[in-house]
Structure 1
Amino acid sequence: MASGTGAREKTFFGHPRGLATLFGTELWERFSWYGLRAILATFMVASPAAGGLGLTEATAQAIVGIYGALIYLVALPGGWIADRVLGSRRAVLWGGLIIMCGHISMAIPARTGAFVALGLFLIIIGTGLLKPNISTMVGKLYPQNDDARRDAGFSIFYMGINIGAFVAPIVVGWLAAGDRWHLGFGAAAVGMALGLLQYARGRHHLRGVGDVPGHRLTPEERRHFGLTALAVVAVIAVALTAWTASGTFSLDAFALVMTLIILAVPVLYFGYILLGSHNLTDDERSRVKAYIWLFIAAAIFWMIYDLAPTVLLFFAQHRTDLSLFGISITPATTQAFNPLFIMIFVPVFAALWVKLGDRVTAPQKFAAGLFINGLSFVVMALAAALAQSGRISVWWLVLVYLVQVFGELALSPVGLSVTSKLAPQAFKSQMLGLWFMSFAVGDSVGGQTGRLKNHMSEPAYFLTLAVIAIVASLVLLAFAGRLHTMMREHREPSAPASP
């Protein structure tokens, strides 16, 4: 009887039972995240009389881009904290609690931006703790050499993300309609609370995964870390205060400065990993070097893909007839197209990766995903050209999101898996944070691309971004064989490299 129970507990569509716990937690966390994202830009551009912030669309694009970037930027220290202080399990728990508090702050119906700023800040911090570490725990559910099932497991995990992403824009968009913004934000808070409940109830299925930090700090190191963190916060506070007092601060300037900082962070961190004394093996160093190429490809991918909550949302609002099958929809509902298609095609891709095994390499999958994503903006360029003479059917956006789905499923779940696989042992959680740093780079640069619209037409804007993605995909494909060799997936571990 006991053995039979244990066998049942280990099965979730043929995967470890702990995947179900992480699947449900991520589903509700993503509901809260995508619910907020579906209305944030339109909330920002709405007039103060309508309960919004009254920003221009260009400024809103830049700020939403930086907000998205910061969400992923803090994934890097979030992974470090899990590796060195909390362990992944507690990092996810604390992150969820902080996220919930952030959404509650956003939901307070006060006519001031203070609660909005506080809410966004808390969501950023909480997501930095939760997002990289829950993905790390998924990777640790599988044996190191079980690559095919790990890829399939991440695809199933990705399904949970997109169930939340599909439901959230519909529910939150409907609640926020009629300028009921804070009611929509409140629904996001409820979603995160449900995620925390799921996590607490299913904790025993994780069987100790993430309980212990991979490389716990000594008491002296913890004191040093605390003092350093306080010093950094103080320096940032003083710098922002001085900048504001100088009279030169603006949201657009802040977004530009943050973009430059975000671009510098992965450069510095890759240098830290490769040039520091971490007793990495020769194979680990080679894998990190190969990963840099995949990182750049992913950043270009997200630069285009994550324009959905700004550029594509405003396009839906101003350029399309918001009607599907004769039913009126909100602009936020268009954000549900992409996850709907993902839920349809995730099982197909999960089975495909198992069937193909090692015959298609990770670099080849990345190149295909990036190329397809570029094609989606070729379609957008045509749609924008047609929209210059009047509103067009919202089915054009449906087509764009359908094309993007195939690119996303070729790159994103595989990116999570390959990051877990290529990460040096001492940097497991941190490397997952570095994977989400590619989102940060893409989001911040994508937010700045709105400046191009001052110098070119909307169709030319979309076509320019499409060409960048397609050219980058062809370059990556040309070097795919060399990168596969650098990944050293079939070699015995080498001796530790000299410090």
Structure 2
Amino acid sequence: MLNYKELPKGVLNINLIQIFSTVGYAVLMGLLNFYLSNFAGMSRPEANTLTASFFAINFLFHFLGGTVGGRYLTFRALFCISLFLQFIGLCLIAIQSHTIILIGMAMFITGSGLNVSCINMMLTQLFSQEDKRRRIAFAVNYSFMNMGFVLSFVVAGYLQGHNMYSQAFIFAAVCLVIAMAIHLKSWKYFNDKGTYFATTFYKSTKRLYIAPVIIFICLCFAYYLMHNPVLGSRLIYLLFAILLFSMIIFALKQDNEYRTKIFAYLILSSASMIFACVQGLQSTALENFVEFNTSKSLFGIPMEPATVNMFESLGVILFGFVLATMMRKRQAANRPYLPGFLVTRGLGLYIIAFLMVPLGIYLAGDTHMVNVVFPILLLLIVSAGEIHVNAVNYAMAGEMMKPQHQGLFTGYLFMNVAFGINLAGPISNFAISHSLETGKITAAASNPMYMQVFLVMAAVALVITIIFFFLMNMLNRMLNAQKLEPVLESELE
């Protein structure tokens, strides 16, 4: 187990904050799709599109959190504001009125979008750039975040079974108040180190209004996108392309060593797209699949769609602590895992995961009703791959990037996630397209489409894993060669 005495003060505090600060997001992940169709008067395709766009915009705003935090406001202050916005948003979403729900969604997504970059940067700044314990801390932090998810999905699943959606959102709002209290008590541990705000901007009077103006603009923009989710989806694709191009141009202007690190980071972070797509499918296609295509019973225990999501989080908790223990042993033996190895292994697990739904459909036969254990297995295997990919990617900005660029590259990582989640809307609507032609979603009509979707995803994951295997070997050799150059020079002297 992790010994917090070996880690900087503040790590345990952030882990406790993670348990409660993620509850709102998890509750919405489990309930939003059905809530929009049942209480906001939306059709199933409209709810799928808005849900996918909502969670993708969340990660689009993560990029903003990475650029505003540490530049125009301290990460700890921006995180505090984000919790407040999420609290208000959940309270408004609980009011079962279409207009108010969309206002609440805009407030929540702005707060949630600013949130994650801040907490990642608060954690990464507790370590020096060369401190490899950061990876262990991120793996464990990721597990604590998913403890909050498990709590959320258990409560959300129970309340969903009793059609008590509003009560679920109020429960999540209360958890955010607890997170705020822990954050304020731990305030002294999370001061910015080496950021633009800490070194320069804090002296300027502009600090009093620039961040609030940006946040207000984000609120207005988010509200507009809640009414225009298709436009929001297209915007994410466009912004990702522009940002990737900008990052490449930025990398080409750097010295050889830093340029290699940037390209390595860009390649590593792209692996998060696949997990992100699965996360988007959790709140759209997989929930619909569990609702309409499975027995919804595990060993006689009723399984609501929100409850099934819990298994992904349980897997992350388990595999997160296992991976952290393995990392610590390897580092103690001076044989740390190479980032490329962990990411490639994680992608390989996704291939197996995506085959679970086609296997379940094949074994269902003429009954068409799939045993709910197959989507559960998919989520458990995905969680094993997820902890490899995301724990590494979240730590990479602190290890590979200069302090003044860490927030920017953390934000870029979340643009990859936004791109992946955004794909979930069209995929989910494709899976139920034949059912909608008859006016009713049935397992017989949608199973062939789900079979096709997940077989294609498994094939894509296989191709990407092979590409990553060769790319990572090349990049690892380049990075190792750079580490050896100073040693060789000193020996020659």
Range into which the TM-score falls when normalised by the shorter chain = 0.7 to 0.9
In the TM superposition, what is the alpha-carbon distance from 1:214 to its structure 2 partner? 4.8
Q: Are the equivalent residues in 1 in contact too, given 2:285–2:424 (CA < 8 A)?
A: no
Other-structure match for 2:304 = 330
**1:465 lines up with 2:448 in the alignment:** no
Other-structure match for 1:439 = 417
Other-structure match for 1:169 = 153
Q: Distance in 1 between matches of 2:483 and 2:244?
A: 28
Other-structure match for 1:244 = none
Q: Are the equivalent residues in 2 in contact too, given 1:323–1:394 (CA < 8 A)?
A: yes
In the TM superposition, what is the alpha-carbon distance from 1:342 to its structure 2 partner? 2.0
Other-structure match for 1:258 = 235
Other-structure match for 1:155 = 139
SS class of match (2:22): helix
| 1:215-294 → structure 2 map (5 Å cutoff) | 216-217=200-201, 219=204, 229=214, 253-271=230-248, 273-274=250-251, 280-294=254-268
SS class of match (2:284): helix
Residue deviations 1:235-285 (CA, integer Å, cap 9, x gap): 9699x69xxxxxxx9856335423433433532441463367xxx554222
Q: Distance in 1 between matches of 2:325 and 2:219?
A: 50
Q: Are the equivalent residues in 2 in contact too, given 1:364–1:480 (CA < 8 A)?
A: yes
Other-structure match for 1:377 = 354
In the TM superposition, what is the alpha-carbon distance from 1:422 to its structure 2 partner? 1.6
| 1:176-187 → structure 2 map (5 Å cutoff) | 176-187=160-171
Other-structure match for 2:490 = none
> Which amino acid is the alignment partner of residue 435 of structure 1?
L
> What 5-or-longer segments of structure 2 have no aligned partner?
435-447, 487-493
In the superposition, relative to structure 1, how do residues 371 and 225 fare at CA in structure 2: closer, same or farther (>3 Å)?
same
Aligned partner of 2:397 among 390, 411, 419: 419
Residue deviations 1:429-483 (CA, integer Å, cap 9, x gap): 2221222222111101222223543487220111011111111011010121222
**1:30 lines up with 2:22 in the alignment:** yes
Q: Distance in 1 between matches of 2:215 and 2:91?
A: 26
Other-structure match for 1:59 = 46
Percent of pairs with identical residues:
21
> Which amino acid is the alignment partner of residue 85 of structure 1?
Y
Aligned partner of 2:84 among 82, 97, 102: 97
Q: Are the equivalent residues in 2 in contact too, given 1:41–1:64 (CA < 8 A)?
A: yes
* Higher alpha-carbon deviation: 262-271 or 91-100: 262-271
* Higher alpha-carbon deviation: 462-471 or 229-238: 229-238
Other-structure match for 1:308 = 282
In the TM superposition, what is the alpha-carbon distance from 1:133 to its structure 2 partner? 1.3
Number of residue pairs matched by the alignment:
464
> Which amino acid is the alignment partner of residue 415 of structure 1?
N
| 1:39-188 → structure 2 map (5 Å cutoff) | 39-46=31-38, 52-108=39-95, 110=96, 112-147=97-132, 149-188=133-172
Q: Distance in 1 between matches of 2:209 and 2:190?
A: 32
* Higher alpha-carbon deviation: 289-298 or 445-454: 445-454
Residue deviations 1:289-327 (CA, integer Å, cap 9, x gap): 111111222213322343111111111111222223322
Give the alignment's Cα RMSD to 1 decimal: 3.1
In the superposition, relative to structure 1, how do residues 232 and 251 fare at CA in structure 2: closer, same or farther (>3 Å)?
closer
Q: Distance in 2 between matches of 1:472 and 1:104?
A: 41
In the superposition, relative to structure 1, how do residues 146 and 171 fare at CA in structure 2: closer, same or farther (>3 Å)?
same
SS class of match (1:86): coil
**1:208 lines up with 2:202 in the alignment:** no
Q: Distance in 2 between matches of 1:220 and 1:312?
A: 49
Q: Distance in 1 between matches of 2:311 and 2:270?
A: 27
Q: Distance in 2 between matches of 1:137 and 1:234?
A: 24
In the TM superposition, what is the alpha-carbon distance from 1:153 to its structure 2 partner? 0.8
Q: Distance in 1 between matches of 2:255 and 2:66?
A: 21
Other-structure match for 1:496 = none
In the TM superposition, what is the alpha-carbon distance from 1:99 to its structure 2 partner? 1.2
> What 5-or-longer segments of structure 1 have no aligned partner?
1-9, 47-51, 242-248, 494-499
Aligned partner of 2:6 among 10, 14, 19: 14
Q: Distance in 2 between matches of 1:214 and 1:385?
A: 58
Q: Are the equivalent residues in 2 in contact too, given 1:422–1:487 (CA < 8 A)?
A: no
Q: Distance in 1 between matches of 2:4 and 2:156?
A: 30
In the superposition, relative to structure 1, how do residues 477 and 27 fare at CA in structure 2: closer, same or farther (>3 Å)?
same
TM-score, reference length from structure 1: 0.84
Other-structure match for 2:444 = none
Q: Are the equivalent residues in 2 in contact too, given 1:215–1:426 (CA < 8 A)?
A: no
In the superposition, relative to structure 1, how do residues 229 and 20 fare at CA in structure 2: closer, same or farther (>3 Å)?
closer
TM-score, reference length from structure 2: 0.85
